């Protein structure tokens, strides 16, 4: 099968006693070939172990049946299941998936774009939240390649998007805290420049407003979504001595930082403080206390995004340019009922 010269369409044609055009048809449009002929071709294919040479076909057809995925870090646990969903949907529809780990390096982004301009990939899935370098600054008359953003919407460009409804998710999370009697709820992870953080903050504000609670701006702390930022924010609150009864964190990583700071100061969770995260990353259920959080339907996001892209590629306009999937409240043990001390 390998290194013994591969069978070509000519070999098959010779064995079947037909022309290569007929072999091609038998493979791609079987109904246009007489039953008997088709049988002979099928046999010949089996006998030779023939597989269509994808390069020749792609060259001729001008498409590669390949999708390029651009992500700043394929190893990011937040990405991995989206990746799985993308891969499954792609392979189901006969497409392959190429990965491009950009590390947010403009040069690597531009490099990977060559897969598109060299016809090696037909479309693009973007995890990066921005157009890849080389496209961002391109003259606007130039048509962008077919692409769909995932995880983070693309700033300032009308790129179709599939992701979680961050506003609604955060609203539900804050509502959960309110339903447990909390009135002083901190939001950890303010960062207006980050779309996700901004939306989650808005959801938080909406829930408080809806509950008739006023927002204490001193309980809203900046953070970039890292564990360290959660730790620092918490420390900061103690230094200023403005404390909540519950922490709503912009994501699970941040919540972990809050956990660490609180543990460090000797508090027992969730007795003395409640903490909520967002994302439901792998270890959320393994920390102590297990983290109450909002679960992202990651695999589903990947599948939807890929299906949207392939639909786009096949020439149909997508039914909607933005799809927001619902996140799910996962109640574990890091939130307790608030009781006045």
Binding site for a copy of itself (CB under 8 A): 1-4, 6, 49, 51-56, 58-59, 64, 73-77, 80-81, 83-84, 87-88, 91, 96-101, 108, 111, 114-120, 138, 142-145, 227, 256, 259-260, 263, 282-283, 286-288
Minimal distance in Å, beta carbon 287 to a copy of itself? 6
Q: Could you give the residue ranges of the DSSP H alpha helices within the chain? A: 9-16, 20-28, 35-48, 54-61, 77-92, 106-117, 166-179, 195-210, 227-240, 252-264, 298-313
Of 52 and 183, the one with the shorter C-beta distance to DNA is 52
Half-sphere exposure at residue 4, Cβ-oriented, CA atoms within 13 angstroms: 4
In whole angstroms, give the CA distance from residue 54 to residue 7. 13
Q: Which does 108 bind (CB under 5 to 8 A by kind): DNA, a copy of itself, none?
A: a copy of itself
Q: Which is nearer to a copy of itself, 78 or 180 (CB)?
A: 78
User: Smallest distance from the beta carbon of 89 to DNA, in angstroms?
Assistant: 23
- Residues in CB range of 316: below 8 A, 6 or more apart: none
With CB cut-offs between 5 and 8 Å by kind, which of a copy of itself, DNA, none does residue 3 bind?
A: a copy of itself
User: Toward a copy of itself, which CB reaches closer, 20 or 260?
Assistant: 260
Q: Which residues in this chain contact DNA in the complex, by CB under 7 A? A: 6, 8-10, 17-22, 24-25, 27-28, 32-34, 36-38, 50, 52-53, 56-57, 59-62
The distance of closest approach from Cβ of residue 313 to DNA in the complex, given in angstroms and rounded to an integer, is 15
Find which of DNA, a copy of itself, none residue 18 binds, CB within 5 to 8 Å per kind: DNA
Q: How far is the CB of 122 from DNA (least distance, A)?
A: 15
Contacts by 200-205, CB closer than 8 A, 24 or more apart: 200/166, 200/167, 200/169, 200/170, 200/250, 200/278, 201/170, 201/250, 202/167, 202/170, 203/166, 203/167, 203/168, 203/169, 203/170, 203/171, 203/172, 203/173, 203/174, 204/170, 204/171, 204/173, 204/174, 204/248
144 binds, among DNA, a copy of itself, none (CB under 5 to 8 A by kind): a copy of itself
- Nearest approach in angstroms of CB 67 to DNA is 19
Residue 254 touches which of DNA, a copy of itself, none (Cβ within 5-8 Å per kind): none
Among 143, 165, 87, 130, CA closest to 312: 143
Q: How far apart are CA 95 and CA 121, in angstroms?
A: 10
Choose between 13 and 281: whose C-beta lies nearer to a copy of itself. Answer: 281
DSSP 159: -
Nearer to DNA, 7 or 71 (CB): 7
Q: How many H-runs (helices) and E-runs (strands) does the chain carry?
A: 11, 12
Taking a C-beta distance cutoff of 8 angstroms, is the pair 168, 284 a contact? no
DSSP label at residue 284: G
- CB of 50 or CB of 167, closer to DNA: 50
For residue 236, the partner it binds in a copy of itself, DNA, none, with Cβ less than 5 to 8 A by kind, is none
Q: How far is the CB of 26 from DNA (least distance, A)?
A: 8
Cβ(40)–Cβ(14) under 8 Å? Answer: no
Q: Which of a copy of itself, DNA, none interacts with 170 (beta carbon under 5 to 8 A by kind)?
A: none
In the complex with DNA, the residue whose CB is nearer, 58 or 226, is 58
Q: Which residues contact 231 (CB under 8 A, 6 or more apart)?
A: 257, 258, 260, 261
Q: Which is nearer to a copy of itself, 99 or 325 (CB)?
A: 99
Tokens found for residue 258: 């809050």
From the list a copy of itself, DNA, none, partner contacted by residue 36 (C-beta under 5 to 8 A by kind): DNA
């Amino acid at each position: 099968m390998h290194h013994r010269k591969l069978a070509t369409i000519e070999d098959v044609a010779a064995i079947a006693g037909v022309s290569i055009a007929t072999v091609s048809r038998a493979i791609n449009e079987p109904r246009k070939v007489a039953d008997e002929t088709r049988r002979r071709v099928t046999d010949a294919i089996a006998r030779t172990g023939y597989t269509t040479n994808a390069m020749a076909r792609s060259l001729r057809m001008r498409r590669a049946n390949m999708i390029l995925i651009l992500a700043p870090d394929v190893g990011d646990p937040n990405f991995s299941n989206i990746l799985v969903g993308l891969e499954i949907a792609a392979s189901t529809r006969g497409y392959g998936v190429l990965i491009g780990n950009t590390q947010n390096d403009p040069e690597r982004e531009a490099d990977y774009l060559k897969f598109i301009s060299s016809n090696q990939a037909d479309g693009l899935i973007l995890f990066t939240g921005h157009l890849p370098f080389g496209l961002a600054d391109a003259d606007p008359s130039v048509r962008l390649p077919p692409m769909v953003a995932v995880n983070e919407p693309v700033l300032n460009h009308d790129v179709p998007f599939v992701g979680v409804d961050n506003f609604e998710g955060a609203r539900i999370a804050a509502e959960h805290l309110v339903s447990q009697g909390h009135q002083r709820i901190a939001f950890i992870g303010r960062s207006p420049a980050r779309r996700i953080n901004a939306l989650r903050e808005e959801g938080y504000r909406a829930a408080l407003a809806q509950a008739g609670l006023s927002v204490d701006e001193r309980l809203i702390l900046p953070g970039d979504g890292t564990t360290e930022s959660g730790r620092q924010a918490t420390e900061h609150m103690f230094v200023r001595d403005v404390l909540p009864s519950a922490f709503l964190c912009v994501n699970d990583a941040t919540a972990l930082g809050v956990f660490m700071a609180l543990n460090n100061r000797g508090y027992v969770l969730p007795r003395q403080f409640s903490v909520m995260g967002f994302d439901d990353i792998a270890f959320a259920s393994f920390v102590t206390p297990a983290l109450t959080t909002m679960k992202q339907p990651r695999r589903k996001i990947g599948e939807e995004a890929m299906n949207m892209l392939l639909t786009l590629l096949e020439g149909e306009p997508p039914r909607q340019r933005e799809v927001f999937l619902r996140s799910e409240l996962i109640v574990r043990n890091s939130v307790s009922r608030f009781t006045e001390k």
